[in-house]
Chain A
Amino acid sequence: MTAYLFRRLVSLSLSLVAASLVIFLVMEVVPGDPASFMMGINADPAAVAALRQQMGLDEPLVLRYLGWVAGLLTGDFGTSYTYRVPVSELVAERVVISLPLTLYALALSTLIAFPAGILAAARRNSAADLSVMGATQLGVAIPNFWFAMILVLVFAVNLRWFSAGGFPGWEAGVFPALKALTLPAIALALPQASILARVMRSSLIDTLDEDFMRTARAKGLSRGQALWRHALRNALIPVLTILGLQFSFLLAGGIIIENVFYLPGLGRLVFQAITQRDLIVVRSVVMLLVFAVILVTFVVDLAYAAADPRLRRARR
């Protein structure tokens, strides 16, 4: 396990280095000079040059990259061009919305998908199975931002159960804050729940066909008992992998959904920064999101290896 852990840690670091390089280089080719953008079109060229120097834009590419990475490692994400505050402050303000939203959606997705998938697998080819499969087929085809709009139309505009957008802040209390995140979380969760339910179903069906299930039945367990005690645990492994992947989908999907509901999370921050050419913010937030995704994948891999020793040996 130690050797495996070491190998995985090396590959984790390599992924992070490669990801940071890609993000840095992509943001380098952005047309337009941030310094002149900040100063406006009528700015004095000397002032622009001074600002360029102050922002470190005159330094060679390699130095700027290393400076950025060193900053990231010490928690210094740079200073936003437009907000004139440290990026870490902006991120800290926003992450308390984006992360709970992601986790909320993940919880909803699991709560919907597990029972649906188990029901469909346990009653294979029944009417219940067919309805679940039909619903999931529809669920993966619905764009989440469109679903979000329909939720707003029904539950905010017509029924007035929820507000159509915005966020009261956690100071307003946990319940109002969660209420504001409910429609966005449902919109995010629906397509992911559909995928998860399908994986749960097919994984469970595969497990139900295994020999040890016949043994479990032969020793006198009922179908239900055998399913709960033996099949489910074995079927969960692929499901957990998908769940890990979904974290990244939800985090990225949140970018769009936050825009639908005017939630001041990381996604809105990225979009505002893009339109304002605030590259330091874009670069650091994207890196942070990619870091979160790579880290979650890493943790899922480890959990996987801990559960199944065969996986520690070879990748292929």
Chain B
Amino acid sequence: MSRSVAGEISLLRMALGHPAFVVGFALSALFVALALLSFVWTPYDPTKLAIADKLQVPSLAHWFGTDHFGRDMFSMIMVGARVSIAVAFVAVGIGIGLGVPLGLYAAARRGSLVDEIIMRGNDLVFAFPSLLLAIMITAVFGPGAINAIIAIGIFNVPVFARLARGAALALWTRDFILAARVAGKGKVRISAEHILPNIANLLIVQGTIQFSLAILAEAALAYVGLGAQPPLPSWGRMLADAQTLISLAPHMALFPGFAIIVTVLGLNLMGDGLRDLFDPKLRRGRS
């Protein structure tokens, strides 16, 4: 069931007319652009210490000021965006890559032992306070960006497995799936060719929401010293550095915080917008 070109164009037009989506998309795109730009250019070297310039307030030379080692905060935030986005992207990728096939399999073999095991395993992961297990994992396997990705990614697996299973179960009762079965297609093929494209919208919306949660989780892990390690800048650790100096240099706490808030806000607005745009009921109501 591919959408027609005319449909794509009208969806695009509606997207541009949806303020939350436009604002959210712009904010998210801004940070992705900053992260990409940081690979080729930053105003200063974000790892270079310049003690003489330490704790400067924002100025034309240093837009966001400097930290206690004289590093340029704006450059650090640019590189920090790269870390945050990369960690969140891979963590959500793990969630989708493992969770969706598991969910689809559980739905195709509904009520089977495998279905039961998958769903109970999911219940178990949900029962853990996610932050606690993430802390435990990074504590055991050592702090670092890779382990942060794994710790955050694990919690995305059940989210997507449950979502995919629920949505797929509803589809399996539909006539077009029955037609595909009559045509002789196997369960795997039906899941890949008919179920997956029909739940893709849902997955995208959930993906943006999980992305924003992953950014918050990464910041929290980095804040307690379990995320990306120095000298790689990360928003969470910048905040940890700022904490003891908060009365002396509040700007050190403000800017990394704003970066997190704006990115998360942008992703959430974009997710809300996408949900509205993908929902056929709302779409009909709008036009």
Contact = CB atoms under 8 A, between A and B. Distances in A.
B159 interface: no
Contact size range, A: 35 or more
Given A19-B127, A145-B239, A259 B247 contact: no
Contacts of B92: none
17 contacts: A141-B212, A141-B261, A141-B265, A142-B257, A143-B260, A149-B242, A149-B253, A150-B253, A153-B247, A157-B247, A249-B129, A255-B131, A282-B139, A290-B127, A290-B129, A290-B132, A293-B129
A205 B140 CA distance: 45
Contact of B223 (A142, A145, A290, A297): A145
A294 B127 contact: yes
Contacts of B220: 143, 145, 256
B81 interface: no
Interface string A1-18: 000000000010011001
The dominant DSSP class at the B interface is: helix
B107 to A, nearest CB: 11
Interface of B: 120, 123-124, 127-132, 135-137, 139-140, 212, 216, 219-220, 223-224, 239, 242-243, 246-247, 250, 253, 256-257, 260-262, 264-265, 268-269
Contacts of B131: 249, 252-253, 255-256
B124 A18 contact: yes
Nearest to B254: A150
Given A26-B137, A256-B224, A248 B124 contact: no
Given A29-B140, A143-B220, A289 B132 contact: yes
Contacts, number: 105
Given A293-B127, A293-B129, 19 more contacts: A15-B123, A19-B127, A26-B137, A26-B140, A27-B136, A27-B140, A141-B212, A141-B261, A141-B268, A143-B216, A143-B219, A146-B219, A149-B246, A251-B129, A252-B131, A260-B243, A290-B132, A293-B128, A297-B127
Nearest to A145: B223
A248 B247 contact: no
Nearest to A271: B224
B239 A149 contact: yes
Contact of A152 (B124, B246, B260, B264): B246
Interface in A138-182: 138, 140-143, 145-146, 149-150, 152-153, 157
A146 B239 contact: yes
A66 interface: no
A11 B121 CA distance: 12
Shortest beta-carbon contacts, A-B, top 7: A252-B129, A141-B264, A146-B257, A141-B265, A274-B139, A252-B131, A157-B247
B173 to A, nearest CB: 13
Nearest to A29: B140
A253 to B, nearest CB: 7
B269 A137 contact: yes
